[in-house]
Structure 1
Amino acid sequence: MKLVSFSELNRPAGPGSIRPGVLLDEGSRVIDLTTAGHADALAAITAGVTALTNGGAYRGYAVDEIKLHAPLSNPPRIFCIGLNYRDHAIESGMEIPKFPVVFFKMVPSIVGPGDTIVIPEITKEPDYEAEFAFVIGKGGFQIPASKAMDHVYGYTIINDVSARDIQFSTSQWSLSKSLPTFCPMGPSIVTADEIADPHALDVQLAIDGEVLQHSNTRELIFKIPELIEYISSITPLLPGDIVSTGTPFGVGLGRNPKRWLKAGETVTITIEGLGQLTNPVA
């Protein structure tokens, strides 16, 4: 199942206008989950919804009647893992980590597919980062790696947009990753049952058609079970928590000359089985 959040194009924005849905028919149709009593995507995740149980009870929309938003706009937390691809740690000039490097993106930074990444004047070094993320379905504390995958609801794409000049002005990274629009997410959350092996997915980022990042999730240093075990050993994981697993080689920071995002460009991240996340830059 592909969980999305959407609004109708012909209805004004307001409370309740963004609703949870299921993307069907190879992306041509969306089924409204509010008719099944789920107020938003977080409610559907918490309830463990991974399939439509009664097709006749749902209202559907053609995709040209709706706008897709970030599939989960109100996660409890967005955990991000730094330096989780060996080649990216090397290009960043940092040591290979012995434990997961964890920081946060703040929830107000979330935008959806097609939304604009807005580069503010406060940064002159905005960078892109293609990332494979997983979403917690069943929460828990001190979860062993052997049972970790039972707690995964599904998977999505995140662009960990980063203000590098802010990031390296201090040892703390979270604020540099949390400027408004710096967390594009989507287009959907693909439930875990649809992905046979989350550690064998191609990851690619292109700007205006030029491929700048290309790797595979098999290259992750700390894989999903290890990340769940580590994070939950310190803090209980909650339904809807997102863990973005890190970016591979090819970011602007590691290039010579360095390559920053520019207004007028379009960034597209493609992850096998999860679709494409495309965002213009302004």
Structure 2
Amino acid sequence: MKLVTFKKNEQDRLGVKVNEGIIDIREALLSHPLDTVPSNIMEVIAGGYQAVTLLNSYINELKVDGDQTYLLAENDLIWGPCVTQPSKIICVGLNYRKHADETNAAYPEVPILFNKFNNTLTGHRNDIGVPNVTEKLDYEVELGVVIGKKAKNVSKEEALDYVFGYCTANDLSARDLQLRTQQWLLGKTCDDFSPIGPYLVTSDEIEDPQNLNLRTVVNGEIRQNSNTSDMIFSCDEIISYISKHMTLEPGDLILTGTPEGVVLGYPEEKQVYIQPGDEVIVEIEGLGSLSNKFVEESSSY
């Protein structure tokens, strides 16, 4: 199942992608009420397999009814982040072999972890302001892993059983801020630095998260083009490792690293960072394409 979040009347709404478009679940519930059906993305994640099953059955009943007042076209949506309120956003640095090679970095012996915050979340087709405090804004296509069950001290063998689903993510990075100190946080946590979506795809639709093509396209030019098989630490290793140090909760988002092709990996004379007016598309096989245009940062709200 492909789940989406979109904005309506400045509120987050749950949508489900079907062949005909996007079903607005809250709108459908007005004319076809059913108390057990979850009405927002965090409820679905917390409800796990049972919630997805209920939602799927409800959608099948809607199709039989024939009413389409709740059906929306994707082009008409104001997209939100496909996960709206993760309690944690945990990122893995230097997790692709060729990316480590291009930046002349040694392969890490254990996962390099850092965090982001919810202020960084935004959605598909939303404009992103280039912060005035950076001159080196970089893109990073990444596989996002969304936890579906509380996980503590889980084994590598069982780790993927704790995954609710996967999404496409862009771990935007202000390189000059990131490398200003030994701590990367400042360069990773500016507003809207974690667009995710367009879909949260349930784990049953992804046969092997370690065999997914992923790429980045900037203004029509392919910049990153790789496969998750190049990860140093696989998704199950990452989940197990994190769970040994902290409890993972339903809705927690793990960004699993980026492959080669980032601006930072180019020779200095060829480094052209993201500028206002640029369009960046990151896409992962089976998870969809996430597109954002970059604009000048607003000075106030």
* TM-score, scaled to structure 2: 0.87
SS in structure 2 at match of 1:87: helix
Mapping of 1:43-82 within 5 angstroms?
43-48=43-48, 49-51=51-53, 52-55=56-59, 56=61, 60-63=70-73, 64-82=75-93
- 3-state DSSP class of the match of 1:134? strand
State yes or no: 1:202 paired with 2:196.
Answer: no
Aligned to 2:22: 29
Report the RMSD for the aligned CA atoms in angstroms.
Answer: 1.7
Which has more radius of gyration?
Answer: 2
> Is this contact kept in 1: 2:136–2:174, CA < 8 A?
yes
User: Deviation at 1:87?
Assistant: 1.0
SS at match of 2:99: helix
CA distance in 2, matches of 1:33, 1:238: 25
Give the whole-Å Cα distance in 1 for the aligned partners of 2:106 and 2:26.
46
The aligned counterpart of 1:89 is 100
How does 1:19-168 map onto structure 2 within 5 Å? 19-25=13-19, 28-32=21-25, 35=29, 36-48=36-48, 49-51=51-53, 52-55=56-59, 56=61, 60-63=70-73, 64-168=75-179
Structure 1 residue 66 displacement after superposition: 3.3
Pick one of 178, 183, 190 that aligns with 2:189: 178
- SS, match of residue 73 in structure 1: coil
1:271 matched to 2:247? The reply is: no
Shift of 1:37: 4.6
Code of the residue aligned with 2:154 in structure 1: it is: I
1:65 deviation in Å?
4.8
- Give the number of equivalent residue pairs: 275
1:160–1:182 CA contact under 8 A, matched in 2: yes
With normalisation by structure 1, the TM-score equals 0.93
Q: Does the CA contact (< 8 Å) of 2:15 and 2:22 recur in 1?
A: no
Gaps of 5+ in 2: 30-35, 64-68, 296-301
More divergent stretch after superposition (87-96 vs 230-239): 87-96
- How big is the shift at 1:31? 3.9
Q: Residue 47 of structure 1: SS of its match in structure 2? A: helix
Give the percent of matched residue pairs that are identical in Structure 1 and Structure 2. Answer: 37
Letter in 1 for 2:282: I
Shift of 1:140: 1.5
